[in-house]
């Protein structure tokens, strides 16, 4: 891995530095072009680099494969009015397609954010699910952390043409605009000494969105998987690329980048050229983990053995037809148990249909699996899009039991 990384670092940064110098000469009127700060935090002990293919690889083999089913796949979680058949031109299920969005109304699973609370935090930990993988994590009103923010239109040609296909169609509008974020639009009583952070799990279009990032303040700190720091345009002044199991600190906040079973690449010719993973945020004895996209493997027990248990785990529960790269809801519970999480909050459902299941199956299947598996020492909190969970309240605005009943098809 270390040799492969050295090879990349010898070539790519030289190109980036050359163009940055040219920009500084030609665009003297744009100071930010001359003040980029790229840091790299490496872990030379990890064998995550395939020197022959010049690509990153997962630390552990996946436990499950493509289209590998479980006992829950035989259960139809749709309600009668949601059942139907529909052919899809892209991402067609070889086992037979169903209508993946019939009967779905995103308004029933979205709430208006409490902007007073977001702009003036009163709890030590506030976690707001925006939609899909996007979260706003607020710690003590001191740290504002955006994770995988995709609020604006998908970048580039994928965003322009993707909307004309079912799998690129947006089925849930963001409950807030980028300008509504507390460190973008500003609060009525702005707090001093706030730190603005963006953490990206990997470079896929539904997790990395430059259309959103370009609207954020210039003093935002960006944390990205190793290799992705070289892909960020020079206008983003502070970008840190991190290897798996490496740490950084900002004030009294510790940020750790952790491995996952997934992949990366925004085009066919750049597969796995940058890392992917999850994030751990530690502040004031609170430990909040965002898994990123991942399949189930021994990686979760490895993380637990190295890092200890977590207070809040934000886990994906959708697109498990690619089970080697995505958790089924029951896999998410097993992974959370491996991590010894105290609170499990799921995400990924309700926005797009990059998968074969009905858009409401993930949360319903999670609730059903939870009732069957009955995890000990862990609580389930299912949020609606736009909803905030806080440690002091120990409950979302909409009670988990109520949302579980709303989602249940049995």
Contacts of 61 (CB under 8 A, 6+ apart): 297
Which sign, positive or negative, has the C-alpha torsion 395, 398, 399, 403?
negative
Cα–Cα dist 170/158, whole Å: 13
Asked whether the predicted pLDDT for residue 45 surpasses 90, the reply is: no
- Please report the pLDDT score of residue 1 as a whole number: 36
| Segment 100-126 mean pLDDT | 96
Asked whether the predicted pLDDT for residue 17 surpasses 70, the reply is: no
Cα–Cα dist 168/6, whole Å: 37
pLDDT confidence tier of residue 89, bands split at 50, 70 and 90: confident
Quick: pLDDT tens for 302-352.
999 999 999 999 999 999 999 999 999 999 999 999 999 999 999 999 999
Asked whether the predicted pLDDT for residue 13 surpasses 50, the reply is: no
In three-state secondary structure terms, 168 is helix
- Please report the pLDDT score of residue 395 as a whole number: 47
| Segment 232-250 mean pLDDT | 94
Which of 29, 400, 407, 1 has its CA nearest to residue 227? 1
**Range of the structural domain that residue 357 is part of:** 2-407
pLDDT confidence tier of residue 269, bands split at 50, 70 and 90: confident
Quick: pLDDT tens for 90-99.
889 999 999 9
Q: What CATH number should be reported for the domain holding residue 265?
A: 3.60.15.10
- Please report the pLDDT score of residue 363 as a whole number: 98
Quick: pLDDT tens for 200-216.
999 999 999 999 999 99
Contacts of 346 (CB under 8 A, 6+ apart): 314, 315, 316, 317, 329, 332, 362, 363, 366, 380, 382
Rg (CA), the chain: 21
The partner residues of 388 in beta bridges, in order of sequence, read: 128
Quick: pLDDT tens for 341-399.
999 999 999 999 989 999 999 999 999 999 999 999 999 999 999 999 998 655 443 33
**Which pTM does this prediction carry?**
0.88
Phi, psi dihedral angles at 325 (to 5 degrees): -120, -10
Q: How many folded domains does the chain comprise?
A: 1
Which sign, positive or negative, has the C-alpha torsion 168, 173, 177, 181?
negative
Cα–Cα dist 277/3, whole Å: 21
């Amino acid at each position: 891995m270390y040799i492969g990384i050295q090879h990349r670092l010898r070539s790519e940064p030289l190109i980036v530095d050359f163009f940055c110098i040219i920009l500084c000469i030609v665009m003297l009127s744009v100071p930010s072009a001359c003040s980029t700060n790229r840091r790299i935090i490496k872990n030379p002990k990890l064998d995550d680099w395939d020197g022959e293919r010049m690509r990153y690889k997962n630390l552990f083999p996946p436990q499950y494969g493509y289209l590998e089913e479980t006992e829950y796949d035989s259960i139809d979680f749709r309600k009668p009015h949601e059942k139907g058949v529909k052919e899809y031109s892209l991402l067609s299920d070889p086992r037979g397609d169903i209508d993946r969005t019939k009967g779905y109304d995103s308004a029933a699973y979205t709430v208006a954010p409490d902007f007073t609370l977001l702009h003036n935090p009163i709890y030590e930990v506030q976690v707001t699910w925006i939609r899909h993988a996007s979260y706003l994590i607020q710690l003590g009103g001191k740290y504002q952390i955006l994770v995988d923010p995709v609020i604006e239109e998908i970048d580039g040609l994928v965003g322009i043409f993707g909307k004309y296909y079912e799998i690129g169609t947006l089925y849930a509008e963001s409950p807030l605009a980028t300008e509504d974020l507390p460190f973008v639009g500003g609060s009525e009583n702005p707090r001093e000494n706030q730190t603005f952070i963006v953490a990206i799990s990997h470079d896929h279009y539904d997790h990395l969105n430059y259309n959103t990032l370009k609207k954020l303040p210039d003093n935002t700190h960006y944390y990205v998987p190793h290799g992705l720091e070289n892909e960020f345009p020079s206008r983003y002044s502070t970008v840190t690329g991190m290897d798996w199991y490496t740490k950084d600190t900002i004030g009294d906040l510790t940020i750790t980048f952790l491995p996952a079973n997934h992949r990366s690449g925004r085009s066919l010719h750049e597969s796995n050229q940058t890392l992917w993973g999850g994030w751990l945020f530690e502040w004031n004895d609170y430990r909040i983990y965002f898994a990123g996209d991942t399949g189930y493997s021994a990686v979760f027990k490895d993380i637990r053995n190295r890092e200890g248990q977590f207070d809040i785990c934000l886990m994906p529960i959708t697109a498990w037809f690619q089970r080697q790269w995505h958790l089924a809801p029951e896999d998410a519970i097993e992974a959370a148990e491996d991590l010894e999480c105290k609170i499990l909050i799921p995400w990924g459902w309700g926005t797009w249909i990059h998968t074969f299941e009905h858009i409401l199956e993930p949360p319903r299947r999670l609730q059903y699996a939870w009732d069957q598996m009955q995890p000990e020492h862990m609580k389930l909190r299912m949020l609606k899009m736009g909803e905030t969970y806080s440690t002091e309240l120990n409950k979302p605005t909409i009670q988990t039991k109520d949302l579980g009943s709303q989602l249940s098809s049995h």
